[in-house]
Amino acid sequence: MDRRVRVRFAPSPTGPLHMGGVRTALYNYLFAKKMGGDFILRIEDTDSQRFVPGAEKYITEALNWCGMKFDEGVNEGGPCAPYRQSERKEIYLQYALQLVASGHAYYAFDSAEELDKIRADYEAQGKTFAYNYLVRESLQTSLNLDSETVQERIRNNHNWVIRFKMPVDRIVKMHDLIRGDVEVNTSTLDDKVLYKSTDSLPTYHLANIVDDHLMEISHVIRGEEWLPSLPLHYLLYEALGWQDSQPKFAHLPLLLKPTGKGKLSKRDGDKMGFPVFPLEWHSPDGETAHGYREDGYFAEAFVNMLALLGWNPGDDREILSMEELIEAFSLEHCGKSGSRFDPEKARWFNAQYLKTKDNSELADLYQPILENYGVKADKTMVEKVCGLIKERATFVSDFWSLSDYFFVAPESFEDKAVNKFWKGENPNRLQQLRDVIATIEDFRAEVLEHTIHSWIEQNQYPMGQIMNTFRLAIVGRSMGPSMMEIAELIGRDQTIQRINSALDKLGNPA
């Protein structure tokens, strides 16, 4: 019988979650939901040196904003609680000791200073030091020292670590669901530290394997920066006797810079003017970085854009809701090579989502902006304005520059439009138009259109000239939706007032 699908997102709280990390979480989530399985959040905080206060809260808030719900995790709890590794401290030592007892690991007593010195000596000879099978028997390890010395050092609280004893010249055959079969000769690998006595904590490798096993993780889906650790992870499963229930692995390719060259890094956003983080981040030392949420992106647009950076639904659909993404998701459709991030495309996604939002939701988002400009407008009016301009906007923050004239009369008139239209008979005809408008009782766009067009036809006036002069008076510039719609929304009195004000301010053309 196939085992239940259980996947985990296992970030280390070392800072804000980069969009590559959000994508990893998203693919885990989509896979879990598609397979009817569980999505777990485990916080891997065993590296106290790199711990950043506020990072865990940021991670959970960001994933919540994206609409990913955990079945088990630090906040949700669950059958494998606790889900924060620092709270599972007691669990790991027994496994490190088991590995020592079975000969798969050993104690090492070299101090950081001693290792630094060895490294420096190697460098002086133009070589790079690796803690591996070539040196482990000549350093201060339990492979070299007699067992009494080893026991005595442990008893006397001499600092020690437990290192994995990497086998010599063995080919590890691995399978990755995205990359296929991979092979590595163990002689190229070093003896990683698994456990440290200084803080009684395991390192990433041991804690990660032990927890994936205890939490019955069926698939590990993570970034390709972890691929080099895969041979060690395979060997740890084997050494602990867990190879039969070892999870399947899928390593996701990198997100690349917009230029296509190199990994999209945390610094790129601020350098190139786009966010690389889901939410704005304020670091404990006062640095701030942009976030998609605060920059005005809709969570659905951000998620949709991210999903397609490295995966495709197998057809040419581009706009997919979370439900549709779940339905369509498969690891087979994840690409093997890096995906270039395109900030322009991110904006395009937002514009697509903005267009389909209902006007009432947009009005709620626009109202606070209007209030900032000192405008108090009723919701129905704001909804209608949103309906008229949303096709032209990318963000709600574009609304004001696209629709200010619905709420405030223009104070000045754009030179270009004035030079083009405020000439010849146009001002005089605008005055006539005002008088026509004054007679229209039922001030709806259709009625306006009918009445104004008949008047233009009867007089055989040039339609473009009249309407553009009308627009100049009402909007102050050459932009916006149909004049009839604008006039209907601002109402008859305001329309007439604005025509009068333009006639007054612009006067007779020279």
From candidates 10, 240, 264, 452, binder to ligand GLU by CB under 6 A:
10
Residues 431-470 that bind ligand GLU (CB under 6 A): none
As given in the structure block, the two tokens for residue 242 are 């867990």
Of the residues 89, 257, 266, 345, only one is catalytic, namely 266
| Interaction of residue 12 with ligand GLU, rule CB under 6 A | yes
**C-alpha 449: how far from chain center:** 46
Say whether residue 226 binds ligand GLU (CB under 6 A): yes
Of 222 and 347, CB closest to ligand GLU: 222
Q: Name the residue nearer to ligand GLU (CB basis): 136 or 222.
A: 222
By C-beta, is 10 or 430 nearer to ligand GLU?
10
Task: Give the C-alpha separation, 353 to 349, whole Å.
Answer: 6
Burial track 133-167 (b if 16+ CB lie within 10 A, e otherwise): bebbeebbbbbbbeeeebeebeeeeeebbbbbbbb
Residue 213 Cβ vs ligand GLU, minimum distance, rounded to whole Å? 13
Asked if 44 touches ligand GLU (CB under 6 A), the answer is: yes
**Given candidates 60, 140, 142, 208, which one binds ligand GLU under the rule CB under 6 A?**
208
**Contact by Cβ (8 Å): 183, 194:** no
Contact 496, 502 (CB under 8 A): no
Mask for 167-206, x = binds ligand GLU (CB under 6 A) = -------------------------------------x--
Judge whether 78 and 71 are in contact, CB under 8 Å.
yes
> Maximum Cα–Cα distance for the chain, whole Å?
112
Least Å distance, CB 37 to ligand GLU, is 16
* Angle, vertex CA 477, rays to CA 473 and CA 482, nearest 5: 75
Do 452 and 484 contact (CB within 8 A), yes or no? yes
Nearest to 23 by CA among 356, 250, 289: 250
Q: What is the closest distance, in whole angstroms, from the C-beta atom of residue 59 to ligand GLU in the complex?
A: 10
- Toward ligand GLU, which CB reaches closer, 245 or 356? 245
List Cα–Cα distances, 68 to 4, 13, 23, 303, 510, in angstroms: 20, 18, 11, 10, 64
Whichever of 240 and 354 has its CB closer to ligand GLU, that residue is 240
In whole angstroms, how far apart are CA 335 and each of 308, 311, 324, 400?
Answer: 10, 6, 19, 40
Size of residue set near ligand GLU by CB under 6 A: 9
Consecutive H or E run containing 62: helix 55-65
Q: Which is nearer to ligand GLU, 211 or 383 (CB)?
A: 211
Which residue number, 228 or 491, has a Cβ lying nearer to ligand GLU? 228
Structure tokens at 238: 């084997």
Among 500, 506, 479, 496, CA closest to 419 = 506
Task: Give the nearer residue to ligand GLU in terms of CB position, either 86 or 432.
Answer: 86
Q: How far is the CB of 255 from ligand GLU (least distance, A)?
A: 14
Phi/psi of residue 220, each to 5°?
A: -105, 115
Tokens representing residue 413 in the block: 């008139």
Q: Hey, what amino acid is at 496?
A: I
Q: Does 72 bind ligand GLU (CB under 6 A)?
A: no
Residue 355 annotated as catalytic: no
Q: Are 24 and 221 in contact (CB under 8 A)?
A: yes
DSSP output for 437-480: HHT-SS--HHHHHHHHHHHHHHHT--HHHHHHHHHHHHHSSS-S
CB 7, min distance to ligand GLU, A: 10
Q: Which residue stretch of 6-14, 154-162, 254-262, 432-440 sits at the interface with ligand GLU (rule: CB under 6 A)?
A: 6-14
**Shortest CB 445 distance to ligand GLU, Å:** 56
User: Interface with ligand GLU includes 222 (CB under 6 A)?
Assistant: yes
Q: Does 96 bind ligand GLU (CB under 6 A)?
A: no
Q: Does 210 bind ligand GLU (CB under 6 A)?
A: no
Pick from 266, 310, 308, 306: which is nearest to 289 by CA? 266
Verify binding: residue 11, ligand GLU, rule CB under 6 A. yes
Q: How far is the CB of 207 from ligand GLU (least distance, A)?
A: 9
* CA 124 distance to own-chain centroid: 44
Q: What is the DSSP letter of 329?
A: -
Binding site for ligand GLU (CB under 6 A): 10-12, 44, 204, 208, 220, 222, 226
Residues designated as active site:
266
